[in-house]
Structure 1
C-alpha cells in the first residue's frame, strides 16, 4: 500500500514536471499599461483592445492580472528628494532601514496585488536616482543624491580628505541602492512567484544623438556593473520611447536598435535564457504628444518582435485621459492605426512560431538591424518566414525546435 502511494506521488510529480517543461509562451504579446479605465467608466467608450489582440487588465484597470506597475515611492520606502527639497524616506538609499522597507514592500504587495497566483508582468518604476553613483552626475536633478551622499560620508568620517570622502560616498550609495533593489525584487518574487518582475527602463542606453544605433562604451561598462540587478530580475523592461526631435524615421529606428541590442546583450550575459524581455513603448512622441506615425509603430513594436523581444508594454500618461475628446481621439487611432498593426504583428509572430518552430520557440529575424524586417511583410499581409530563425523555448532544441532538449 505504502509503495503504491509513493509510486503514485512520484508518477504524478513526473507528469507535472513534464507538463511544466513542455508548456510554451505566447510568441509575442502586446500588453496595455495605460490608465484608460476613465474612458469606459466615465464616458462609456470601449477601446476594444482585445479585438486587436492587445492584452489588458479586467475592466481596463491600471493594476490587475496582466500587469501591475508601481510608481515611486511604491513599493516599500523608496527614498527620494521632492522638488521642494524635502527628503522622502530619508532621501538617499543609505538612510533607509532595510528591514522596515522589506515589511512595507510585503504590505504594499498584499494590498495592491492581492491575488497570490498573480502571473502577470510586475514592473517597478524607480527613476529619481540611478543605482550607479556616477550616472547621477549626468542629470542636474540627480546631483542632490551625489551631494547628500557626500554630506553623509563627511559626517561619519570628518577627518578624511575629499578624495576619501568621494570614494566612501560612492561605495555607501551603491551598496545601499543594490541592497534596496535586490531585496525589493526578492520579496515580491517570494510572495508572488509566478509574476514576471523587473525594474522599468533597464538596461538603458542613453543614445540620444542622431543616428546613434549603439550604446557608448562607457554606458556598456556601467550596465555591466549592474549585473546583480539583471541576475535577480525575472523580466527585463527596457524603454524605447521616441521623440520627434530625431529628424527621420531612420534615425528613430536606430535609436530603438541601440536599446534593443543592449537588452539582448545584457540578457545573454546575465539572465537566464528563459528571462522574458518586454519593450516599454508608447504611441505618442514624448515631446509633442502627437500620435506616432505608422512607421514609428514599426520602429518600436515591429523592431521589438524582429529583435526577439517577448512583447511590448503599451504605456500612456494619465494626462491624456482627461476628457471625452481624449478618449475618442485614442479610440479612432487604435481602430485605424495602432490596433491593426499590433494584430498583424501578433498574428505573424504566432504563425511563424507555429510553422517555423513547431510552436516550441519564437521567431527572430536574421540581421534584424539591417532591414525594416516585418514592415514589408505585414503591409502586404504576406507570411514569409525565410528570413527568420527560431529561438527555442526551454526543453526544446534544433533548427526548428522539434527536438527534446
Structure 2
C-alpha cells in the first residue's frame, strides 16, 4: 500500500500517539468488513424499465431488495413517513401544528410506532434507520433564512399567552419552549425506535453539521474548519448524540467545488467533527456513516476520481464505519441516465470501491488482528488506505459468475510497515492493545 515514502518497523510505531484520542470503535456493521458502502438510490427502474443492470451488489455496496428507500438494510424516514412531524409548508401553511410546542407529542409517537412497524417489520432489524427531518433545527439560533418562520411563530404563540411581556421576555421564552419541544420530539422518537428495533442504527440525517459552507466566499482563504461557535453549539446537542446509535453527516459536493482544493478541506472537517461527536456521545464511539453522492448536487455530473478520493477515500482514512451513497430518481429517469450511472460504476466507481474496501480490510487484518479499524495517526495527513499498485491488480471479471472485479496480489512487509507509519488501530468492543490482540479482562 502507498502511504509515505518512508517506513518504520511495526514494533516501534505502535507506541506513537494519535493527535486525538480514540475510544473503542464501533464494531463492523457486517462481519469482517470494517468499511462498508451503502447504495441508497431508487434505481430499480433501470432494470425493470430499460433492461440496464447496475448489479450493485457485486461492488460490496449494500442495497435493499428492489433498491428502494426502505427495506432490510436501510430505511430512511422522510417527513411524512414517521409520526406527525410538525413543520410549515413552502406556502407557510402549518402541518401538524407547525412548531413542535404546538403539536401533540403523544399522537406523534402513537403514529410513529405504527410507521416503524410498517416500514421495518423485522424485529431483529440491525441496519441503518435514518430519520430525515430537515424543516427545522433543534437549536433556536440555527433556524435562519426560510427556517426563520419557526422563530417568528414561536414568538407569536408566547405573545398570545403573555400580551404584556416585553419583546426580550417573549424572545427568551419562545426559545426555551421551542428548544424543549424540539428536543422532546427528537429524543422520544429515537427512544421509540430503539425500543421497537433495538439493534437498528438510529440517527438523524445531517447531524452533526459543521457549517463550514463559507467556501462560497472567495474573498478569504478557505480552511474548511468548523467555526468554533458551531462546535460549541454541537456540544449543546449532547442529548441528541447520547440517544443516537449512529451519526449521518452529509458531505455532498456542489459543482462549483469541482477542480478546487476546497473539497478535501470541506469533507475532512465535516467528518472530523462527526468523529469528535461520536467519541463524546457514549462510553464507546458510535458508528459514523457520512452521506455522499456520486454526482455534484443538482446535476447528473459525476464526481472526478480526485473527488472520490476526497469523499470516500478521506472518510475511510479517518476511520468511519462506512459511507451511504444517496441518489434520487434522476438516476433512473431514462435509459440514458441509467446507462450513465452504469458506465460510471463500471469504469470508475466500482474499481475505486474495490480498492478502498479491500485496503481497509487488509489494514484491519494486518495491523489490528481483525479486531479493529484503522484510522490515521494524524487526521490532517495525506495518507489514504489504497492498495499498492505495484503489488495489486483490479481486473474486470469476464466470466459469468463471481464479483464484477477480481483482486490479484498479496500484501508485503513493506506495505504493513508503511501502514503502521501512518495508521493506528481503533479496537472493536472487547479488544484492546496497539494491535487489538488482547481480549479485555485478560491479564
TM-score, length of structure 1 as denominator length: 0.90
- d(CA) in 2 for partners of 1:123, 1:301: 20
Residue 399 of structure 1 deviates from its aligned partner by 0.7
- Do the aligned residues in 2 keep the contact of 1:348 with 1:378 (CA within 8 Å)? no
Residue 288 of structure 1 deviates from its aligned partner by 3.6
- The residue aligned with 1:6 is none
Pick the aligned partner of 1:42 from 46, 49, 56: 49
- The residue aligned with 2:265 is 254
Pick the aligned partner of 2:290 from 279, 288, 297: 279
- d(CA) in 1 for partners of 2:391, 2:383: 13
1:296 and 2:307 matched: yes
- d(CA) in 2 for partners of 1:95, 1:377: 58
Residue 40 of structure 1 deviates from its aligned partner by 2.1
Pick the aligned partner of 1:74 from 62, 81, 105: 81
Structure 1 residues 25, 272: closer, same or farther in 2, change over 3 A?
A: farther
1:104 and 2:111 matched: yes
- Do the aligned residues in 1 keep the contact of 2:355 with 2:387 (CA within 8 Å)? no
Structure 1 residues 274, 208: closer, same or farther in 2, change over 3 A?
A: closer
Pick the aligned partner of 1:188 from 190, 193, 200: 193
- The residue aligned with 1:203 is 208
Give runs of aligned pairs for residues 312-391 of structure 1, distance below 5 A. Answer: 312-374=323-385, 377=388, 381=392, 383=411, 384=415, 385-386=419-420, 387-391=422-426
1:309 and 2:314 matched: no
- Do the aligned residues in 2 keep the contact of 1:24 with 1:393 (CA within 8 Å)? no
1:6-54 deviations in whole A, cap 9, x for unaligned? xxxxxxxxxxxxxx9xx96631000111111111222222211121111
Residue 65 of structure 1 deviates from its aligned partner by 1.1
Instruction: For residue 221 of structure 1, give the secondary structure of its aligned residue in structure 2.
Output: helix
Instruction: For residue 290 of structure 2, give the secondary structure of its aligned residue in structure 1.
Output: strand
Structure 1 residues 346, 188: closer, same or farther in 2, change over 3 A?
A: same
- Do the aligned residues in 2 keep the contact of 1:34 with 1:315 (CA within 8 Å)? yes
Matched residues, number? 383
Pick the aligned partner of 1:402 from 437, 440, 443: 437
Residue 274 of structure 1 deviates from its aligned partner by 4.3
- Do the aligned residues in 2 keep the contact of 1:24 with 1:359 (CA within 8 Å)? no
- d(CA) in 2 for partners of 1:372, 1:356: 15
C-alpha RMSD of the superposition = 1.9
Q: Higher helix proportion, which one?
A: 1
- The residue aligned with 1:239 is 250
1:227 and 2:238 matched: yes
Structure 1 residues 65, 309: closer, same or farther in 2, change over 3 A?
A: same
Structure 1 residues 231, 378: closer, same or farther in 2, change over 3 A?
A: farther
Pick the aligned partner of 1:143 from 132, 143, 148: 148
Long gaps (5+) in structure 1: 1-19
Structure 1 residues 350, 206: closer, same or farther in 2, change over 3 A?
A: same
Pick the aligned partner of 1:170 from 168, 172, 175: 175
Residue 262 of structure 1 deviates from its aligned partner by 0.7
1:161 and 2:166 matched: yes
Long gaps (5+) in structure 2: 1-26, 216-221, 393-409
Structure 1 residues 165, 124: closer, same or farther in 2, change over 3 A?
A: same
Residue 164 of structure 1 deviates from its aligned partner by 0.3
Residue 71 of structure 1 deviates from its aligned partner by 1.0
1:265 and 2:300 matched: no
- Do the aligned residues in 1 keep the contact of 2:290 with 2:324 (CA within 8 Å)? yes
Structure with more relative contact order (C-alpha pairs < 8 Å, separation 6 or more) = 2
- d(CA) in 2 for partners of 1:375, 1:363: 12
Q: For structure 1, which segment, 247-256 or 374-383, has the greater mean C-alpha deviation from structure 2 after superposition? A: 374-383
- Do the aligned residues in 1 keep the contact of 2:40 with 2:67 (CA within 8 Å)? no
- d(CA) in 1 for partners of 2:293, 2:391: 25
- d(CA) in 2 for partners of 1:359, 1:89: 49
Structure 1 residues 98, 107: closer, same or farther in 2, change over 3 A?
A: same
Instruction: For residue 129 of structure 1, give the secondary structure of its aligned residue in structure 2.
Output: coil
- The residue aligned with 1:123 is 130
TM-score, length of structure 2 as denominator length: 0.83
- d(CA) in 2 for partners of 1:111, 1:305: 34
Instruction: For residue 255 of structure 2, give the secondary structure of its aligned residue in structure 1.
Output: coil
